[in-house]
Every structure is written in C-alpha cells, then in structure tokens.
Amino acid sequence: MSVTVKTVLRTEEKMMRDTYCRVLMELAETNENIVALDADLMSSSGMKPFMKAYPSRFVNCGVAEANMVGVAAGMSAMGFVPFAHTFGTFATRRVCDQIFMSAAYAKLNVRIVGTDPGVCAAYNGGTHMPLEDMAVLRAIPEMILVEPTDSVMLENLLPQIAAKRGVYYIRLNRKNAAGVYEPGSAFEIGKGVLLRDGGDVTLFASGIMTAEALEAAKLLSEQGVAARVVNLFTWKPADVELIVESAEKTGAVVTCENHNVVGGLGGAVAETLVKNCPVPVEMVGVQDLFGEVGPEDYLRGRFSLNAADIAAAALRAVKRKA
C-alpha cells in the first residue's frame, strides 16, 4: 500500500461511475471471464459502454434484482466473474437472502455493486436511500464490504476485486467524489489508510465522510485538538490492527459514516474496540432514522453529517476520556 493524500481537496472532474465502467471494460479486455449484470438501471449505473463493447457478456435482467443475483451466482459457478449492479437499496435489503444463499453460503464468486450510498440518493428520497445496506450484509460470514473513497481508489481496487475470489459488496457513489488521493496511490482491501496523524482523537471515516473528517481535523486543530484521520474504506473484514493501534494511541474515537450508526462502520469499530481496547466512541452517522428526499447538502445537514458535526463529536469523545 502506497498512498499520497491531496493537500487540497477538490471535487473530481469525472463521475465515479464513468471511472468504474472504464476500468471494468479495461479489465474485461484481458479477462474474458468478467461479465456484467444489471436490473434495468444500466443508464444510472453508467454501464452502457460495457454493454455496447461486450453485448454477449452483459445481461440486463430487467427489474428483477433477486433473479439477477442468482443468475450472477450461477454464472460464477461456470467460472465467470460477475459484477451485478443496481441501486444500493435493491442490491442489499431486497436481495439479502439471494446474496446469502446463492452467493455467500454457496461460496461462489460474485460482486454486487450498489450505487447511491446513503444521502447520495438525494432526490430519489427515503425509499431509495440505503442507510442500512452495509449493516444488512455485514452479518453474512465471509462477505467483503468496500466503499471506495474516490476515483483514484476505485481504479486501484477494481483489479483486486476482479482477481480475488469471494462475495463482494461495492458501495459505489456514482457521482463526482471529493478527490482525496493523488493518482497512482495504491490500496489493499482490508487495510485502512492513515490520512493524518494526531494524538488526541481518531476519526475513522468512509466514503463521502472521509473529506468531512479531514476538514473536521482542521477545525479541531484550530481548537488545539490533534486528530488522527483514518479512511476505513473496507468495512468487512475490519482492519483490527489499525483500529486498535489508533485507539491505543489517541484514547478516543469518532466513527463517521453516511449510513445508519446501527450495524455499520460505528458498529464494526465498536465491536473491535470493546474486545481489544475499550475507549470512548462517538458515532457520527444517521441516528437510526429513515432517509428523506432533498439535495445532498440539505440531507447532510438534516442528518448531521458535516465536518462541524464530526468536530463536535470529537470534542465529546475527548471529554469522555478518563
């Protein structure tokens, strides 16, 4: 793992879905086992170029997500490496049992890609807002759950995801992400990334909350609090070593997720720490509420997902230190 963090964060020029489709097509060129499936959301997932380039290796299953997951599992039993796409809501809670039995329990080789994580579902509203997708799948043994932070990370992770056998859920923001990493950065699934060091509190963040956590660290610095920032882009398997090391070093922790705090990143970190290094943990995320409709900025405010919310939580965590 070799990572360079941008000094100034700017919104990336390319949408994540465009990077996703381009890289998958590049991989498909050399790996003829890669196939893609969609459930009538090809235009949203950005997979049209793949379908045009590899029509026989693209299966549009129609609005039938459960069937799509099973078909993907069946194709993987024939040696194919399927990537199945739909919104995060339908990719998880609607097909939980199909992912469980046909893919995971059967120990097949399947990648589920769920787009529009949490408040990124914005104008599609609460019905389409996956705030529980990671929690639903985290309880399934051997699942690998990743939330790529930006296009640089996505481009680096996809070849690894295509190469290594398993059942993956890729929580994909299809819009333009805040660019955190310099091109050429390399990542390892299951290993978090130390973005900034500090001795007073650790901010564990994922997805769109990563840039917010870096901003929060600056706010805290102005108040004399040194925050360590870690990008935990793999929710399962958790990077136990880095979580424990960070907690031991800083004595207080804040988790930052665009997800329900129940069963998500906060849950994964807390489960790790109660067993290994019990320290005060504050969880920034959606506080067990349903999603709502509106622009992403509004929703970040509505659910207290901004840098200022993280900074306030960090101060609470620091105050709770014995």
Q: Which chain residues interact with another protein by CB under 8 A? A: 35, 56-57, 59, 61-62, 64, 66-80, 97-98, 100-102, 105-107
Q: Which two tokens stand for residue 26?
A: 């590049």
Cβ at position 171, least distance to another protein in Å? 23
Cβ at position 67, least distance to another protein in Å? 4
Cβ distance to another protein smaller for residue 109 or 255: 109
Cβ distance to another protein smaller for residue 100 or 187: 100
SS3 state at 244? helix
Cβ at position 111, least distance to another protein in Å? 14
Can you tell me the distance from the alpha carbon of 130 to that of 139, in angstroms, rounded to the nearest whole number? 16
The reply to whether 65 belongs to the active site is: yes
Catalytic residue among 12, 29, 32, 65: 65
Q: Cβ neighbours of residue 280 under 8 Å, at least 6 residues apart?
A: 251, 252, 253, 317, 320, 321
Cβ at position 164, least distance to another protein in Å? 18
Can you tell me the distance from the alpha carbon of 297 to that of 12, in angstroms, rounded to the nearest whole number? 17
Cβ distance to another protein smaller for residue 35 or 91: 35
Q: Which residues of 132-152 are buried (b: 16+ CB within 10 A; e: fewer)?
A: bbbbbbbebeebbbbbbbbbb
Cβ distance to another protein smaller for residue 66 or 186: 66
Where do the H-state alpha helices sit in 145-277? 151-163, 209-222, 240-250, 265-276
Nearest alpha-carbon partner for 91 in 70, 72, 106, 113:
113
Q: Cite the active site residues.
A: 65
